[in-house]
Structure 1
Amino acid sequence: MLWIALVNKTGTGLWMGVAALYFTLIAGLPFAEVGVLMGVSGAAGIAGSPLAGRIADRFPLTRILIAAQLQQAVALLALLTTHDFTLLLIYSAVGSLADRGSNVLTKLYAARISGAERVRYQAVQRTVSNAGWAIGGLAAAGALAVGTTHAYRLLLIGNALSYLVMTALTLRCTEPPSPSRVVAGSKDPEPDGLPSNPWRDRTYLLFTATETMLYLDDAVLQVGMPLWLVHATEAPHGLAPLLLVLNCVLVVFCQVPLARLAPTAGRARALLIPLAACFVAGCLAMSVSVRGGPLAAAAALVCATIALTFAEMLHATASWELSLSLAADDAQGAYLGVHGLSSAAQRSGGPLLVTAVIAAGAPAWPLLGLLVIATCAAQSRLVRHGLPRAALSDPPITLSEH
């Protein structure tokens, strides 16, 4: 599955950075229609998370993942067949639906196959994914330098082919055991015979709501950082892509070591404190970057990127463990599907919030940091009440662990 993650993000890196340019320069859509297309298709993708999670509790996971991969390949190739806005919108929405579903299915596979090592496994997968992003992004940059219609179409085809490669690799993967299907087939089912329902789990729904806010580092780094750099600071514009490279490099080298900090739900909950501290430090550095000349602004933005990247990695580690610890074993897929709504919703609403902060100016960044502090405090309280005391305690140390 790690090879699949590498191929996946390499293909995504080829396409995501040039998608908007393809729709404007090659398909000939005006900017307003491109914004609607990407916004609506992103919103359609939100439904993919809970839908895929619910299906994964009932059918073999690898087969559903293969179907989602083929759906994405077909949707991408369909973009080559038309310049009509309505058809492009439909094809993009179909691809987005499968993309969001695939993310949940991949996480669920990792949870089922890795067992007690699930946090470390997810950390390694994030490391591989970021390496893939970097490879794909560099290849896309080379194609952009050419700038021809064929170059853009080759990038799109490259991403579609990556899903076909992923399908071939997934066919070779072992189907992991499913707790939900074990529970369903046990001799002692629940009294009502029905699996747990995340939509009736108030604690999990509130946890998912707080997660939406904690995913904001993505919008700040991907959207807010380049816009703030160009419009509010004197830092050289060429620094913007280098800051994204710095983000990828830090994740590649630091995500796995940081995963060791959360072997239990209790340790994962404790990471919310340094997570909030890193996010606030990043926001303060963003605010300070408007002062001084180009060198001072560049230094502040580098510090902001480092702090926000560590907030991102700490959140990834804590979120992965807590989202599984709070989920019911008999409906693990459905729970992770609901949790997937948080990142999907952030992709739609996060850029709007970040651009509003940019419009408000430097004083708004510390306020955003305070909002994250409040969110971390709320989530910590939810986890404390939502999990049994034993789950929040560190495991006893035995003589063999010394």
Structure 2
Amino acid sequence: MLLISFLDRIGSGLWSSVSVLYFTYVSGLSIAQVGTLAAVSGAIGIAGAPLAGRLADRFPLTRIMIAIQLLRALASFALLTTDHYLPLLALSAVGALGDRASNLLTRLYATRVAGPDRARYQAFNRTAANAGWALGGLAAAAALTLGTTTAYRWLLTGDGISFVTVALLTLTCAEPRSSTHLAATAGDPLRTRRPANPWRDRTYLAYVATETVLFLDDTVFKVGLPLWIAHRHGVPHGLAPLLLVLNNALVVGLQVPLARYGTTAAAARRLLIPLSAAFALGGVALALSATGGTVQAVCLLSASAAAFTLAEMLHATVSWELSVALAPDTAQGAYLGVHGLAQAAQRSIGPLAVTAAIATGPLGWTLFGTVIALTCAIQHRLVRDRIQQAPLSVPLVTLSEH
């Protein structure tokens, strides 16, 4: 499964970094059309996680994963067949739906296979995904030096091929036994017939709402830092991609070691305290970067990037554990699907939040970090009575080499 994540993200890196350019220079869409396409497809994609979660509680997980990968491949290859706006919009929406569903299913597979060791497994999985994303991005950058339509089309083709390859590799993976199946074999048919409904679980929905705020670190790197640097006099614009490289390098190097501190629900909850400090420090460092000369600004921006990266890694560990620990065993797919809405939702509100912080100036970044830090404290209190001290009762399955 680690190889699958690596190859999946290579394809995503090939396409995500050039999709806007493809639609502009190859398909000939206007700026407004490209923006609308991204917004609409992203909104439709939000449904991917809860839909996949529901299906995963009812059907074999690996079969759904294969179907989703083939759906993504079909959408990618179909984009090559048309330059008309409405078909491009529909195909992009299908691709976004598959992307969100695939993320959820990969995570659920790790949860069912790794059992109580899921935090460490997820850390390895995230490291492999980051490495694949970086490799795909570098390959895309190299291909774009050609600047030809053929180069763009080959990148999109590579994206589709990666999904087909992942589907074939998934065929070799063992099918994990779901907790619903375990409940039935243990003589608990009532729990099997009536799984819990996450949409009626107010505590879990409140937890997901706080998660939406904590996922804002993603927007900091994709939107916040580049825009802040672009509007900060005296700071070289080339610093923005270097900070992304720093982020990726830190995740690859430190995500697995940090995972050891969040292997139980109680331990993950305790990590919310240093997580709040990391968010607050990141916001303060960004605010102070506007007060000095170039050298000081570069140092503070680098410190802020490091702090937000630490927050990203800590939150990943906390989120992996608590999202599962707060979910009933018989409805893990449905609950994790609802949890997946948090990351999708922040992709909509995140750009608004960071642009508001930039428009407000240094005070805005201080408030930005403080609000997220306070949200950590709210989540710390919210989950106190619901965390499950015991590990999931899911037996380990022999992992395929893939």
Q: Does TM-score exceed 0.5, indicating one fold? A: yes
Residue identity in the other structure for 1:74: L
Q: Which residue of 2 aligns with 1:196?
A: 196
| CA distance in 1: counterparts of 2:62 and 2:88, whole angstroms | 29
**What's the CA shift for 1:327?**
0.6
**What's the CA shift for 1:190?**
2.9
SS across alignment from 2:370: helix
Q: Which residue of 2 aligns with 1:17?
A: 17
Q: Which residue of 2 aligns with 1:131?
A: 131
Match status 1:180 vs 2:180: yes
Q: Which residue of 1 aligns with 2:171?
A: 171
Q: Which residue of 1 aligns with 2:387?
A: 387
Instruction: State how 1:93-132 maps to structure 2 within 5 Å.
Output: 93-132=93-132
**CA deviation map 1:159-212 (0-9, x unaligned):** 111001101110110101100222245423337941111111111111111000
Match status 1:346 vs 2:346: yes
What RMSD over aligned residues (CA atoms) do the two structures have, in Å?
Answer: 1.4
Q: Any unmatched runs of 5+ in structure 1?
A: 393-402
Match status 1:7 vs 2:37: no
Compare 320-329 and 366-375 and name the one that shifted more: 366-375
| CA distance in 2: counterparts of 1:194 and 1:12, whole angstroms | 37
**What's the CA shift for 1:291?**
2.6
| CA distance in 1: counterparts of 2:343 and 2:244, whole angstroms | 19
| CA distance in 2: counterparts of 1:188 and 1:61, whole angstroms | 21
Residue identity in the other structure for 2:158: G
| CA distance in 1: counterparts of 2:332 and 2:38, whole angstroms | 30
SS across alignment from 2:234: coil
| CA distance in 2: counterparts of 1:281 and 1:301, whole angstroms | 11
Match status 1:73 vs 2:66: no
SS across alignment from 1:261: helix
Residue identity in the other structure for 2:287: S
Compare 135-144 and 324-333 and name the one that shifted more: 135-144
Residue identity in the other structure for 1:237: H
Give % identity.
Answer: 58
**CA deviation map 1:31-90 (0-9, x unaligned):** 111111001101101101000000000100000000000100111111111111111110
* Cα distance change on mapping 1:284 and 1:233 into 2, 3 Å: farther
SS across alignment from 2:269: helix
| CA distance in 2: counterparts of 1:166 and 1:133, whole angstroms | 15
| CA distance in 2: counterparts of 1:234 and 1:43, whole angstroms | 37
Match status 1:261 vs 2:295: no
Residue identity in the other structure for 1:119: A
Residue identity in the other structure for 1:289: S
**What's the CA shift for 1:25?**
1.3
SS across alignment from 1:271: helix
Instruction: State how 1:342-381 maps to structure 2 within 5 Å.
Output: 342-381=342-381
Asked if the contact 2:276/2:377 (under 8 Å) is kept, the reply is no
| CA distance in 1: counterparts of 2:18 and 2:293, whole angstroms | 32
* Cα distance change on mapping 1:288 and 1:351 into 2, 3 Å: same
Residue identity in the other structure for 1:182: L
**What's the CA shift for 1:136?**
0.8
SS across alignment from 2:29: coil
Q: Which residue of 1 aligns with 2:147?
A: 147
| CA distance in 2: counterparts of 1:383 and 1:191, whole angstroms | 23
Match status 1:323 vs 2:307: no
Q: Any unmatched runs of 5+ in structure 2?
A: 392-402
Residue identity in the other structure for 2:8: N
TM-score by length of 1: 0.95
**CA deviation map 1:308-347 (0-9, x unaligned):** 0000000000000000100110011101001000001111
| CA distance in 2: counterparts of 1:391 and 1:59, whole angstroms | 27
Asked if the contact 1:58/1:181 (under 8 Å) is kept, the reply is no
**What's the CA shift for 1:102?**
0.7
Q: Which residue of 1 aligns with 2:46?
A: 46
**What's the CA shift for 1:387?**
2.7
Asked if the contact 1:224/1:355 (under 8 Å) is kept, the reply is yes
SS across alignment from 2:384: helix
Compare 261-270 and 291-300 and name the one that shifted more: 291-300
Residue identity in the other structure for 2:183: V
